[in-house]
Chain A
Amino acid sequence: MKSTGFEEILSGFSKISPLKFEIWNEKGVVGSCDLEDPYKVRQFLPGMAARVYAIEDFLHEKNPKASELFGLPLFNEDSVAGVLLAYFDSSHSTAGKDFPDTKDVKVLLTKIAGLIEERWEMQNESDTLITELDKSYESLHLYSNVATQIKTLNFSSQMILHLLNEIKDNIRMDMVFSIMPDRPDYSEIVCGEEINIKDESGFVASLIKSVENSNKELDEGYFIVNNSADSKLFSKLHKDPFRFLAVKIVHNENFFGWLGIFSLNMDDIIKRSELRLLVSIAEQIGVVIANTDLYHNLEDFGINIVKSLIVTIEAKDVYTGGHSERVHHITMLLAKELGINEKDTKILNWSALLHDVGKIGIPESILNKPSRLDDKEYKAIKKHPLKGAEIISPLEYLSESIPGVLHHHEAYDGTGYPSRIKGEQIPLFARIISVADTFDAITSDRAYRKGASFEKGYAIINEVAGTQLDPDLVQIFNGIYKKSKIWQIQRQII
């Protein structure tokens, strides 16, 4: 039973009136007033309380010791939550004091009971409000999390996983899943500890299949099962009854998949608020995926432009035709030998292809000048790594490839450009490209000279190891040069 908050007031009443008050529930006294009991009247109270509980109405009794006992049930949400007892010890009465009139006692008790019940009602209301408020806070928190993720352009499987976990904790589900047939990256399932399903993805697939086979119109974009035991289709999917909700993830008529929640706790049902929350999260996921797709399209577009830039620069610089591709080829051989992982190889791949893209901004008259360059012209040429970095910097996809482009003309001894950094300060990818670039520059024809032989190129590379080039990388290059036949492959490309 809830506290009445009236114990102190009743205790005060007891002190100044001949009536003593107590509040009882099924277990015993909860709001006692005066436990001193010189006339042993309190022994009759348990029976009295039980009888009031039983009849759920006002009761007036006289006990063998000629005490007067009164009882009134206290209602909380239509059931008796306690009884208000009052007693008057007749032996205690002194001359001139009559027993109080039963009617008057009843009126007084009814008034007090009314106050207690009103207070309980307010407490109930306040509890409900606070529970609701608490839930709104959780939803708001979840929703703001989703909203933050929507701003991102690169939605990832990790983000989906994070989101599903948030939903699971937030609305206390046993399982939350997102299933997108065409996007395995975004298909994830998270389970609580209570759940014991061996093949989770198989189970979720069967759930979704049953939804799609249920022949129900899914105009609303969601499907609810509040008790699987009621459905032939769903009861056979799991040994225990369950409830679940699946919401379509759609954007502009494009169907991506399903977002679902699943619970084995049958004491509750899927609430309207949970449905609304899930529907809006699914909508947002749809938007994010559509955005991510658009972004990737844009990236692809950007990359294609950059690729065409390479072709343009190759066309501009008539003498270095195929240079970017040859440097790229040698770089990849070095990367393989160095055991560079897949992700970094991808980054290096773009750096190598694009290392000279900045030459697009250098006048053809300088690039193709058949004689030695003067200082001013040489200065212009030296700007190409920086220009290249500037060209690809708007493409986030290529952001990690920038250092390789920017620093491929740094020298190991610090005499290169543009940053004049040396040794390990030069990003590894730039040092790798530098080896490949140097070899190809020596061995291919230039505006002002014929290309040297591969043997000569190999010799020069080893001469500048330690000054211009990273000596360790030159060693790796030597290994490749000896065992693979770079020059043959080179010739094929030419």
Chain B
Amino acid sequence: MDKKKTILIIDDDVHIRRILEIKIKHNGYDTLTAKNGKQGLEIIQNQKPDAVISDLNMPRLDGKELCLLTNPIKKDRPFLTIIITARINPFEQKWIDEMQDTMFMEKPFSPSKIIDSLAKYFENVTP
């Protein structure tokens, strides 16, 4: 049987962390949480989650900086990053397109769409 996939949730808002955590657990994944990008980066490096869901605007290392720092890791160990942000502008879209396995969701996000995206991603990467 497949090992449960682990999803890291990074958001400075405790309620958003909680709702995502519960929703994602309900759908059969394990979760890890971090309050800011810095904490998130450490978890990505040490605990190797299978996907990361992160807010864009955060204290101490925002979502974009986090992507820039983790993108090189993805070459050897690909994982999905979902950036949650307010309205996306073309400038924002550009850097997201340049990242590997990275997508964005607009706020207010739909929890079920996040689940769909995770499922789709894992379906495609599992041989």
Contacts and interface: CB of A to CB of B under 8 A. Distances in A.
B109 interface: yes
A170 to B, nearest CB: 7
B103 to A, nearest CB: 16
A142 B23 CA distance: 18
A359 to B, nearest CB: 38
Contact of B110 (A130, A133, A137): A137
A433 B110 CA distance: 50
A144 B108 contact: yes
Interface in A149-200: 169-170
B111 A130 contact: no
Interface string A131-142: 001100110111
A209 B109 CA distance: 37
A170 B19 contact: no
Nearest to A166: B110
Interface in B3-40: 15, 18-19, 22-23
Interface residues of B, number: 12
Contacts of B15: 133
B108 A134 contact: no
Contacts of A137: 19, 108-111
A133 B108 contact: no
Contact of B19 (A134, A144, A169): A134
Contact of A141 (B19, B23, B110): B110
A133 B18 CA distance: 10
Nearest to B87: A148
A133 B13 CA distance: 15
Interface in A457-472: none
Contacts of B109: 137, 141
A87 to B, nearest CB: 35
B22 A142 contact: no
A138 B19 contact: no
Most buried by B among A130, A133, A141, A170: A141
Interface in B79-125: 106, 108-113
B11 to A, nearest CB: 13
B19 A133 contact: yes
A130 B19 contact: yes
A130 B22 contact: yes
Contact of B112 (A133, A138, A144): A138
A140 B22 contact: no
A137 B111 CA distance: 7
B32 to A, nearest CB: 19
B106 to A, nearest CB: 8
A142 B19 contact: no
Contacts of A170: 110, 112
A133 B20 CA distance: 11
B108 A140 contact: yes
Contacts of A142: 110
A249 B111 CA distance: 28
A361 B106 CA distance: 47
B22 A138 contact: no
Contacts of B22: 130, 134
A140 B113 CA distance: 13
Most buried by A among B15, B19, B108, B113: B108
Interface in A110-156: 130, 133-134, 137-138, 140-142, 144
Given A130-B18, A134-B22, A137-B108, 18 more contacts: A130-B19, A130-B23, A133-B15, A133-B19, A134-B19, A134-B111, A137-B19, A137-B110, A137-B111, A138-B110, A138-B112, A140-B108, A141-B108, A141-B109, A144-B106, A169-B113, A170-B110, A170-B112
30 contacts: A130-B18, A130-B19, A130-B22, A130-B23, A133-B15, A133-B19, A134-B19, A134-B22, A134-B23, A134-B111, A137-B19, A137-B108, A137-B109, A137-B110, A137-B111, A138-B110, A138-B111, A138-B112, A140-B108, A141-B108, A141-B109, A141-B110, A141-B113, A142-B110, A144-B106, A144-B108, A169-B112, A169-B113, A170-B110, A170-B112
Interface of A: 130, 133-134, 137-138, 140-142, 144, 169-170
Interface of B: 15, 18-19, 22-23, 106, 108-113
